[in-house]
Structure 1
Amino acid sequence: MTAHAPVKFGVDLITFYNPSFWDLPDENAIQELSDRDPEAIWRKILDAAAEAGITSLEVTFGPADTDSIRRAFGGPEEFRKELEGRGMELKSAFYLEGSWEPDADRGAIADSAAAYARFIKEAGGDVLVAAPPMRTTWNARPPVFADFDLMKNVADIAHVVGHASLQEGVTTALHTEAHSTFCTARDVDLLMALTDPLFVSLCPDTGHLALSGGEPSHIVSRHRERVVLSHWKDATGPAPLRVPIDESIHDEHREYFRRVGAGSVDWFSWGRLMREIGFTDLALLELDAVADPVAEITAAREFIERSLAPVFP
């Protein structure tokens, strides 16, 4: 029997963005705290992550973003040393810069992606996670279809980001975001077909795929060779797709999300798939801004360690 190294557990830092965790009135107050005292933000997050058994991190947007890292630690290398001293590492960072518009300046996008990838590499990570653009609300006038032409433009920009990040030793992986142009089974199949696997990889998010009406293991199985990272979270089931898509849509998603093992995702199929493709070294857990992240992350980790042991080493 082949021996497997123990799985490492990671977390996307959005998990810690609930105001209740900070005893603050709203998310703006968390950002204000980060602006005023970034070290306090990072100290609380890193202490909580360690308590939950986390060793790998994915940095995302503020308040715990790359800007706050610079202000709290001085730069990416100092951040890496801080994590190493805690027995932790940076795995990835979510890229929200640049534009997906057809007339976007490709040179500016490449420069931005390269700079972000350089930060990731110097901080010890190796994956840049990029989210394709959101869909337009279904009844908009005029309608905007996620057709071949639109998706071809998304693929073209993904290639620009992927090429730029690869020059810095970092892999670009597209994230499956509910209500985006990369959320349904058809979207994933099409955009994976339109992108060069040498430059663009896949970061499936089980919760978002479930919200979009798909079974994560079925969808990802067709693109197993593209997976370089995955976000592990659960969902109550599909969410309505024909809803207003505006700045509040991500907040609307939160009522559907659950921690791993507490929703509709078939985790035994997912665990088997991750084992089959040899992706058993890291499970990156995520929930969107939960009030007690330590308890939720711990419960998710224990579910994987105990209940999935027969299929996921």
Structure 2
Amino acid sequence: MASEDRLRFGVDLVTFFHPGSWDVADHDAIKAYAQTQPRRFWDKILDGVAASGVTGIELTFSPFNWQDAIKTYGSVESFAAELSSRGLTLASGFFAELEAAGDFTEAGAQSAIIDKAERYADFLKACGSDIMVIGAPLRQTPGATPVRFFDFEQARKIADFLNRLGAVLYGRGVRLALHTEAHSIFAGGRDVDLMMLLTDPAYVNMCPDTAHLILAGSDPLQVVDRHHERVIIAHWKDGLGPMPSDTPIDAHIHDRHRPYFCGFGLGRVDWPGWARLLRDRGYQGWAILELDAAPDPVGDIANGLRLVNQALLPIYR
């Protein structure tokens, strides 16, 4: 099988969340633009993705989520047609409800999450995707009180819910992939190992994010090599290094991440080693090029894809 057939390249739409790329002042202004001119907003994104050279998209939080897409184009079928007309495919959808749910070990919260996930899964399936990437719950800021330990018992409770959620999605033809989000319970090497141990590989898979693993102080190659059989999609992203251990983990944590992300090849990720690892482990599937709010999203995606084509795809051959 040719290397081009083994890997398909897409982009997460968070890449388009930089105010400069929309000529507006801040993120709130991007959201306002999306609300007041939704068709222009989405057409610009989809046209930009197509122009960059990748062929897939990953939906994420509003204003880049599945509900916004349906509202803008009128129906699931119309959105799928917009993708198809540009030669694009829906690779996956990011589901952030676990992070926002607070104590989702409570039965009522779990029921609400499952209901949202089921509706999302039906949308993904209707658009030709079978992967839902799920963000894990955030950790607590070190030193905060009262202390909440992420110990075996807490991990077991979370894993039990992930297993059941994964089984629900599986019944709808969609696979769950847990995302290695920095400062979550699924980014440090020990935490990844623990959750992979406690979850059922038939229902819970993995979406490694190379940059988030770097920010968490982990080695992406080592972590993924230990769990390569669980990887069904991967976020290719570069990072400058581990973040300080006392970084506050609160509503602004994702903003704190951004200064530690960088362009492809400018950070700590060993890209040739990454390519060899995925080749040797027989990985086939989506490689999502994610830049997290890029000032020039189309140009930056194209540059990342150029690096892939010139330096990394030859390794697959």
Name the TM tier (shorter chain).
Answer: over 0.9
Aligned counterparts of 2:241 and 2:56: Cα–Cα separation in 1: 28
Cα distance change on mapping 1:305 and 1:280 into 2, 3 Å = farther
Give the 3-state SS of the residue equivalent to 1:41 in structure 2.
helix
CA contact (8 A) 2:77 2:127 kept: yes
In structure 1, the partner of 2:297 is: 293
Shift of 1:280: 4.2
Aligned counterparts of 2:205 and 2:221: Cα–Cα separation in 1: 17
Identity %: 44
Aligned pair partner of 2:247 in 217, 234, 243? 243
Unaligned stretches of 5+ in structure 2?
A: none
Shift of 1:277: 2.4
Shift of 1:281: 4.3
Give the 3-state SS of the residue equivalent to 1:311 in structure 2.
helix
In structure 2, the partner of 1:220 is: 224
In structure 1, the partner of 2:41 is: 41
Determine if the alignment matches structure 1 residue 17 to structure 2 residue 9: no
In structure 2, the partner of 1:5 is: 4
**Which aligned pairs between 1:74-85 and structure 2 lie closer than 5 A?**
74-85=74-85
Structure having the larger proportion of residues in helix: 2
Aligned counterparts of 1:75 and 1:156: Cα–Cα separation in 2: 34
Q: In structure 2, what residue type is equivalent to 1:103?
A: E
CA contact (8 A) 2:3 2:313 kept: no
In structure 2, the partner of 1:132 is: 136
Aligned counterparts of 1:157 and 1:167: Cα–Cα separation in 2: 15
**Which aligned pairs between 1:1-313 and structure 2 lie closer than 5 A?**
3-6=2-5, 7-97=7-97, 99=101, 101-105=104-108, 106-313=110-317
Give the 3-state SS of the residue equivalent to 2:245 in structure 1.
coil
4+ residue segments displaced more than 4 Å: none
TM-score (norm 2): 0.94
TM-score (norm 1): 0.95
Give the root-mean-square deviation of aligned CA atoms. 1.5
**Number of residue pairs the alignment of both structures matches:** 312
Q: Deviations over 1:197-227 (max 9, x none)?
A: 1110000000000111111011111111100
Q: Deviations over 1:82-108 (max 9, x none)?
A: 111111000100112353522142333
Give the 3-state SS of the residue equivalent to 2:176 in structure 1.
strand
Aligned counterparts of 1:109 and 1:282: Cα–Cα separation in 2: 26
Q: In structure 2, what residue type is equivalent to 1:175?
A: H
Give the 3-state SS of the residue equivalent to 2:313 in structure 1.
coil
CA contact (8 A) 2:47 2:86 kept: no
Unaligned stretches of 5+ in structure 1?
A: none
CA contact (8 A) 2:3 2:316 kept: no
Aligned counterparts of 1:296 and 1:196: Cα–Cα separation in 2: 37
For structure 1, which segment, 197-206 or 26-35, has the greater mean C-alpha deviation from structure 2 after superposition? 26-35
